[in-house]
Amino acid sequence: MLWSRAGNRKKTSKDNADPEAQLVERLKQRDEPAFLELYDRHRRSVYWFLVHMTGSVALAEDLTQGVFVAILEKISSGTIEQFDSGKGALEGYLLGIARNLAREERRKTYRFASLESVFEAPEWERFLDKFCAENQTQDAETLLAAQSDLKLLYSAILDLPQPYRETIVLCSLQEKSYQQTAAILQCSEGTVASRLNRAKALLAAKMQAPAADKVKTSAG
């Protein structure tokens, strides 16, 4: 039986304990509402990480489900007991699983799908709307230019070698700290900083090339 009955649930900790630590304890006790709460709280973060890593909405959706299936399996087998909330956040734990699934998928297929599925998704439109609102972009010409630049940047990110792509996705797109990123990628904070700097340099070079081509075209 995967889920324990509510009446048999042990008391977790004091009422003023850290909410995430309480959630972890409830997961360890096979509390079904705790799993649903985990899903609701972190699904979006996991999904967007996988979109950024794979460039495919469909694949990101499948792998997101895979992340939470893996959690169910850990709950069922009891290996969820190994998670220590004092050493990291649940979100980081989930993103670590997502990272491994994305790497495994890449090894199997060698390449990910086209970004067109991302650009056609409703989530992309919401992302673009948010970007334009934050940058006070309103006129149609500027909106089109912004959308074109964002697509170019997104494609450039997907072309990065995996260690650099993971780092810039976590630090720049998902706004994780060096400490959080290091925990997810299982490396030092110094390595995170080095990879991030290298990733930004590679992106700058990729973004400059199309700009130079535009100049040549207009000059011709």
The Cα 87–Cα 69 span in angstroms is 23
pLDDT tens-digit series, residues 159-179 = 899 999 999 999 988 889 999
The Cα 191–Cα 218 span in angstroms is 41
Judging by beta carbons within 10 Å of its beta carbon (0-12, 13-18, 19+), is residue 216 exposed, middle or buried?
exposed
Out of 1-5, 13-17, 80-84, the most confident range is 80-84
Q: Over the range 107-122, which residues count as b (16 or more CB within 10 Å of their CB) and which as e?
A: eeeeebeebebbbebe
Q: What residue segments make up the domains of the chain, in order of their start?
A: 8-117
pLDDT tens-digit series, residues 22-74 = 898 899 898 889 999 999 999 999 999 998 888 888 889 999 999 999 999 99
137 pLDDT higher than 60: no
Q: What percent of the chain has pLDDT over 90?
A: 38
pTM to 2 decimal places: 0.74
The CATH number assigned to the domain with range 8-117 reads: 1.10.1740.10
- Please list, in sequence order, all residues whose beta carbon lies within 8 angstroms of the beta carbon of residue 9, skipping any fewer than 6 positions away: 26, 29, 31
Find the range with the poorest average confidence among 14-18, 61-65, 130-134, 183-187. Answer: 14-18
Mean pLDDT of 130-155: 67
Find the range with the poorest average confidence among 61-65, 93-97, 204-208. Answer: 204-208
The Cα 50–Cα 46 span in angstroms is 6
